[in-house]
Amino acid sequence: MDPLIGMGVLALIGAVAAIAGYTEDLESVVGSQSNPNSQVQLAPQMKYPHRLFNKAISGEPLSNGLAAVIGAVIAVSLDIYFDLSVPTLIVAGSIAAMMIHVVLATTSFFGRISSQSRFKQPLYMDVFKTHIPTIAAYAFMTTACILIICFLMSIYLSVGIPIPLLALILGITVGAIGSAVGDTHYGSERLYQNLEFGSGINAAYSGNIVRKAESGIRSGMDNSWFASKFGGPTTGIAFAAVLFMTSWMTVLFNPAWGNAVGWLGLIAGILFVAATAVINRYLEKSARRNFGPYREEEKTEIVE
């Protein structure tokens, strides 16, 4: 294929991936899925009942992988019998995935809250009714974006992997990145916004999450507003970068042109990884210089 078209497709994949990462992170924040869920789960036990949506389908990778695979399977099956255009297939698949995701989210919320009855955590129906449409919309967006990437990859980049398998791989990857990158901001900043900025959350505060909003009582909606400012965009950047950098290796340095070109791709990959390590080191040093230590250096003994 023409490398120029390849680069164009890559740019499109990157753009769609950024949206997928963004919506994936916001979807998990609205429902308090994944790792920060441990604090939301712990709060009633510490006598802090809350009005957050407690959605524990599973870790983000698996629930997103499932949604993507359901969408892909429905799209592929519809393609066998009906003569539909690709966008229609994507929308139909995403709607099916969204419906299953909503049922899983609903039952998780009901199940987790009613398993905490001894801590007197009420089951608020209005929390359920206001959060479900948001969760559904974000789940639809994420699945649709993943399916768009799958179809682009399989039609233009000729990856040669069936679409459901591709959807599983990309769904698990977007979930892994979403929980690795986006959760931090929600878990250690938003849930503990009353604590001083600039320190890790003392384990003694576990479960003592902020329950008051800017006005009224905090819900998952307020949290998604917060996450859309930092956690969501960074997740989007990370997922787009992963897809762009890994596909770029095979599109620009297409191994079909000869093995030497493939080895050039390897060198480019190594250079990129080295560059991230250098940037990371610079970030680490600048953070230490600017933030300073928590304790005086002289007064503490090194315990080897």
Partner 1 sequence: MSKSAKTKNKENKKAGLNKTAICGLLVSLAGIYIALLVTFPENAGLPPAAPLTFAAGIGMIAAIVWAADSVRSISKYGLGTGVPSVGMFGIGLSTVIAVFAAFLNTIWSPIIGAVLALAIGWISGKLINSVIGMNIPGMEKRIAEITAGSTLAMMASFVVVTGTINPMAAGGYIFTGTVTLGFIGIAVAVFHAYNANLGPDEKPDRTRMLTILDASMLLLIYGIMALLFRLGISTSGGADSGMVGASLQTLIGPAVIIFMSIAFILIAYYKFWTYVKRDAWKIMETGLLPSEEDLN
Partner 2 sequence: MDFFIDPIYQFTLLILITLGGVLITISVHMIPVGGAPAAMSQATGVGTGTTQLAAGAGLTGLLVAASVYILSGDALLCLVLGGIGSAIMLSIAMLIANIGYIYGVGIPLASGKASRDPITKDRQDIYVSKGTEGHGIPTAAFLSGIAGGFVGGIGGSLIFVALLKSPAGLPFESMSAVIPGAIILSIALFFVNAVIASYNIGGTIEGYYDQKFKKLPKAVVVSALITLICGIMCLLIMIQLELAYYGVNV
Q: Under the rule (CB under 8 A), what is the footprint of partner 1?
A: 41, 47, 49-51, 56-59, 62-63, 65-66, 69-70, 72-74, 76-78, 80-81, 96, 100, 103-104, 107-108, 110-126, 161-168, 211, 217
* CA–CA distance, 187 with 209 (Å, rounded to integer): 10
Rounded CA separation 68/167 (Å): 5
Nearer to partner 1, 223 or 234 (CB): 223
Q: How far is the CB of 223 from partner 1 (least distance, A)?
A: 16
Residue 124 or 186: the one with the smaller Cβ distance to partner 2 is 186
Shortest distance in whole angstroms from residue 58 CB to partner 2: 9
Q: How far apart are CA 178 and CA 61, in angstroms?
A: 8
Q: What angle do CA 32, 18, 142 make, to 5 degrees?
A: 50
Write down the least CB distance from residue 74 to partner 2, Å.
18
In the complex, what is the shortest distance from the CB of residue 238 to partner 2, in angstroms, rounded to a whole number? 4
Q: Which does 222 bind (CB under 5 to 8 A by kind): partner 2, partner 1, none?
A: none
Q: Interior CA angle at 63 toward 57 and 69, to 5°?
A: 145
Q: Which does 276 bind (CB under 5 to 8 A by kind): partner 1, partner 2, none?
A: partner 2
Smallest Cα–Cα separation from 71: which of 135, 149, 175, 144? Answer: 144
124 binds, among partner 1, partner 2, none (CB under 5 to 8 A by kind): partner 1
CA 11, 75, 64: angle at the middle one, nearest 5? Answer: 65
Closest to partner 1 by CB, 16 or 167: 167
Q: Which whole-number Å values give the CA distances from 99 to 83, 94, 127, 135, in the listed order?
A: 24, 9, 19, 11
CB of 196 to partner 2, least distance (A): 9
